[in-house]
Structure 1
Amino acid sequence: MPFSRCCGTTEEEQSSRSRSSSSSMDDCIFCLISNGEDEYTELVRENDDMVCFRDIYPAAPHHFLVIPRKHIKSCSSLTKKDAPLVQQMADMGRAALQDQGITDMQDIRIGFHQPPYISVDHLHLHVLAPASRIDDDMLYKFIRRTNRFISVSVVLAAIKKGEKIISC
């Protein structure tokens, strides 16, 4: 059975965990990364509340993930009080792109996948640039205005209104 370094489990176990409604923070790869416990992940930015690192399966020349240190299951778990965190995650993602010399902020894609389209049950923001160079085989995952991928602005608008983000 193939081994996935991403979660330290076999693909079958990873798939089963993704479908599970109860994910333990003890075995969450993103919790391990945010606590500095994954030796393979290099953080490109961090602060007290979140970390940013390169996606191990990049869909564009620059593909980062920004995750909160606090375990939040997904964008569907966000509430009004999380609005500042979401904005700070987006700001950190843009700053990581600027660190890499990306200046065209119109040719980026920033957003969240929502259940059931997530592979790790820990909130993570995808930051990709240039969006015009997203791999054709991966483009479907990052198309705006779909239930699969939603922008930061859509998430912020929903949670500020007190609406839950629910996939169809």
Structure 2
Amino acid sequence: MAEGQTSSQPVPTGTDKDSSVPAVGYDKKCIFCRIVNNEMDTELLHRDEDICCFRDIKPGAPHHYLVVPTKHVGNCKSLNIQHVPLVKQMVDVGKDVLRKHNVTDLTDVRFGFHWPPFCSVTHLHLHVLAPVSQMGFMSRLVYRLNSYWFVTADQLIELLNSKVETH
């Protein structure tokens, strides 16, 4: 197992071993699916059956990580109340990765999602930023609270919990 991976589970590939049929929940055009499936040269800081974490290539803070589901899930507008446990699990993984990188002040962090159409990758991804107090001007704008383009994990969970499914 590669350094930084946290599971004894085998790392799935992008296709089934016995055929060229893509694995369930995999989008070959999605950069994050390719990262999760070890098709890119990206260090995985966390990997388990459901969640992966890696560094953002354009960090907005000294610690800027992306937490993604291992299976392709659309952006936060495509979620419903059944996705609340997934979002909470993503936040928990983000907190664990911060702790592993000696970030102990969890009051100076930001966990959130870009709200469509303001996200460049449609694979659901949680931005984990710390310390917020050291973010530059542009990062404060891009990851701004109470904006049209960025919602915190707590705001998303509240929104999903308030959705009533109609049949």
The answer to whether the superposition gives a TM-score over 0.5 is: yes
Partners of 1:86 and 1:163 in 2: CA distance: 18
* Other-structure match for 1:109: 110
Matched residue SS, 1:138: helix
1:90-131 CA distance string (max 9 Å, x none): 000011000010010000011000111101111100000000
TM-score, length-normalised on structure 1? 0.80
Residue pairs, 1:70-149, within 5 angstroms: 70-149=71-150
Q: Which moved more, 1:53-62 or 1:144-153?
A: 144-153
Q: CA separation in 1, counterparts of 2:164 and 2:64?
A: 29
Deviation at 1:77, TM superposition (A): 0.7
1:36 to 9, 21, 38: 38
SS of equivalent to 2:127: strand
C-alpha distance after superposition, 1:8-62 (max 9, x if no partner): xxxxxxxxxxxxxxxx911100011111211x21000111001000000001000
Q: Distance in 2 between matches of 1:126 and 1:34?
A: 16
Equivalence map 1:6-21=2 (5 Å): none
Identity of matched residues, %? 42
Matches within 5 A, 1:36-55: 36-38=38-40, 40-55=41-56
For 2:164 and 2:139, locate their aligned partners in 1 and report how far apart those are by CA, in whole Å. Answer: 29
Matched residue count: 140
The aligned amino acid for 2:44 is L
Q: Which residue of 2 aligns with 1:157?
A: 158
* 4+ runs deviating over 2 angstroms: none
Q: Which residue type is aligned with residue 45 of structure 1?
A: H
SS in 2 for 1:25: coil
Query: What letter corresponds to residue 98 of structure 1 in structure 2?
Result: R
Tell me the amino acid that sits aligned with residue 26 of structure 1: K
Q: Using the alignment, how far apart are the partners of 2:73 and 2:164 within structure 1?
A: 17
Let me know the Cα RMSD of the aligned residues: 1.4
Shift of 1:139: 1.5
CA distance in 2 between counterparts of 1:97 and 1:140 reads 22
Larger radius of gyration: 2
Q: What are structure 2's unaligned runs of at least 5 residues?
A: 1-25
Whole-Å separation in 2 of the counterparts to 1:163 and 1:152:
19
Q: Give me the whole-angstrom Cα distance separating, in 1, the residues matched to 2:45 and 2:70.
A: 15
Q: Please report how far the alpha carbon of residue 163 of structure 1 lies from its aligned counterpart in structure 2 after TM superposition.
A: 6.0
**Separation of aligned partners in 1, 2:105 and 2:164:** 32
User: Relative to total residues, which structure has the larger helix share, 1 or 2?
Assistant: 1
